[in-house]
Structure 1
Amino acid sequence: MARDGHCPQFLVAVDGGATGTRVRVCDAGGRPLGEGRAGPSSLTLGVPAAWESVLAAMRAAFAAAGAGAPEEGAIRLAAGLAGALCAENRAAFREHSPLSGAELTIVTDGYASLIGAFAGAPGVAVAVGTGVTAYALHPGGEVVQASGWGFPVGDEGGGAWIGHRALQAYLKWRDGRRTAPSRLFETLPERLGASLGDIQAWLRKARSTEYAALAPLVVAAAADRDALAEEILREGAAEIAETIDAIDVSTAGLPIALLGGLAEVFGPRLPERHRARLVAPRGNALDGLVRLLLDRSMRSGGAS
């Protein structure tokens, strides 16, 4: 129940990362009514920017649902956000909430993906998009997490990491420190600019999203058997495999679900011991957040 003793009219699930934000509006029973999208809402990019994207996606979702702006206290919101591992980020996001009277639950986007991928059952969920987050739920209820530290210090195997690796190789090639050719050295200047000044200007402004935007160039080059691109993706797969091994220490091995925009890229490149345990995810982060909202509703109802 909501704080005033009445059930909320809407359940709102927010999946936010460095690339974009998705919102699903459901009725009080969890039935989907509409979805909306907007720009990035990773807390690493700043709380005001995150809320701006969340609100834009919410407006689109309520419009798709054929509903107007919700009344005060009419929603319960669960947000799975990149950067939510940091308690200060979570506190700031809650403190700056413009949704008066709304109940707000904040978890990481990776944890939301874990719950969605296995519908609350044990398993390993690795979300590979701009960054990488990996969570395991063990049969005893223990939740273990790895990666998700953020670019550039972590998130190895993610889109930003891939773009960064490609750019490093390109700059070495420009300097004459690398002589092996690559298709990437032809396509990267189209994004960065060809002159030294263009590249330096790009680097000054680039964040994780800009580096991740270079990853499709690597994927396309690897499809054409470009040696450098294949090497980068092979290294990324090894990083993801290492991350899985760090959180799944069970004897039999938990089922593994890959999620995110690069899931199909890395699935076939994982070691055989991991490929054998790959399963199709039962749902995504939004499904996981709705499940969390419903579980909270049932617990509240049982206690009232």
Structure 2
Amino acid sequence: MSRLYLGIDGGQSSTKALIAKESGRIIGHGRAGPCNHVRTCQGRAKFFEAVSGSVNAACNQAGIDASTVTFAAVCLGFSGGPEDKEAHSRELIRSTKYKITHDAEIALSGATAGQPGIITIAGTGSMVFGRNAAKKTARAGGWGYVFGDEGGAFDLTRRALRAALQFEEGWGRPTVLRAVLLESTGARDANDLLHRFYTP
């Protein structure tokens, strides 16, 4: 059987897995839920669910038994960086070679085919990552929703909610965001709106 290679892109919005043959031909795609930070509440369980779900789906499409396959190499790019995800990944995926990094590096490599460049990620979070001809890298952002992620979906939603609630209280600038948020979520009022956001 041809040597098989696995790539995983684990972000805060979704997790995608791709299986390719040694020739480079892609034989399986898989997608699952978000690959959250391992150390957050239920993070480890969600990590296992996202990685195993995406890999199993890719294996099913490729006609491979996920419980027995050993990959020639695996590259995993995760939102928030490797942390302790390598050990967890080894529990789920058998391979003779592992490369674990952050999702910005794999996005840049995919966009530039390994050449120098800069990429901006604006998903649930945000990050800018670049690599020059000497292979030196630099980053800005990607520190998570508590400390950064400016311009990401979480940050923009939080800013919109703050503006709407400040207007609701009578001390914020006039804004249509209150009406837009109520209509888009189906909430009756500001209290109902907050309840919807805080309910898992």
Aligned to 2:51: 54
Residues in 1 aligned to 2:79 and 2:4: alpha-carbon distance in whole angstroms: 23
Task: Tell me whether 1:115 sits opposite 2:109 in the alignment.
Answer: yes
Deviation at 1:101, TM superposition (A): 5.2
Percent identity over paired residues: 27
1:155-188 Cα offsets, whole Å, 9 max, x none, are 1111111111111111111111124231x32221
Counterpart AA for 1:93: H
- Cα distance change of structure 1 residues 117 and 52 upon mapping to structure 2, 3 Å threshold: same
Decide whether the 8 Å contact of 1:8 with 1:75 is kept in 2.
no
Residues in 1 aligned to 2:111 and 2:144: alpha-carbon distance in whole angstroms: 22
RMSD, aligned CA: 2.4
Task: Tell me whether 1:125 sits opposite 2:119 in the alignment.
Answer: yes
- Cα distance change of structure 1 residues 196 and 157 upon mapping to structure 2, 3 Å threshold: closer
User: More deviation in 43-52 or 150-159?
Assistant: 43-52
Q: Mind listing any 5+ residue stretches in structure 2 that lack a counterpart?
A: none
Query: How many corresponding residue pairs?
Result: 196
Mapping 1:47-126, distance limit 5 Å: 47-69=44-66, 71-84=68-81, 87=83, 89-94=84-89, 97-100=91-94, 103-126=97-120
Decide whether the 8 Å contact of 1:152 with 1:161 is kept in 2.
no
1:23-48 Cα offsets, whole Å, 9 max, x none, are 11111333211211110013255132
Deviation at 1:54, TM superposition (A): 1.2
Q: Mind listing any 5+ residue stretches in structure 1 that lack a counterpart?
A: 1-6, 207-304
1:52-84 Cα offsets, whole Å, 9 max, x none, are 111111121122223332625345321111011
- The 3-state SS of whatever aligns with 1:43 is coil
- The 3-state SS of whatever aligns with 2:130 is strand
TM-score using structure 2 length? 0.85
Higher relative contact order (CA 8 A, sep 6+): 1
Larger strand percent = 2
Aligned to 1:13: 7
Decide whether the 8 Å contact of 2:56 with 2:66 is kept in 1.
yes
Residues in 1 aligned to 2:92 and 2:125: alpha-carbon distance in whole angstroms: 28
Counterpart AA for 2:128: A
Structure 1 residue runs of 4 or more that deviate by more than 4 Å after TM superposition: none
- The 3-state SS of whatever aligns with 2:48 is helix
Deviation at 1:143, TM superposition (A): 0.8
Larger helix percent = 1
1:95-142 Cα offsets, whole Å, 9 max, x none, are 6x2234564321100111111111111111111111112111112221
Mapping 1:192-231, distance limit 5 Å: 193-205=187-199
Decide whether the 8 Å contact of 2:31 with 2:53 is kept in 1.
yes
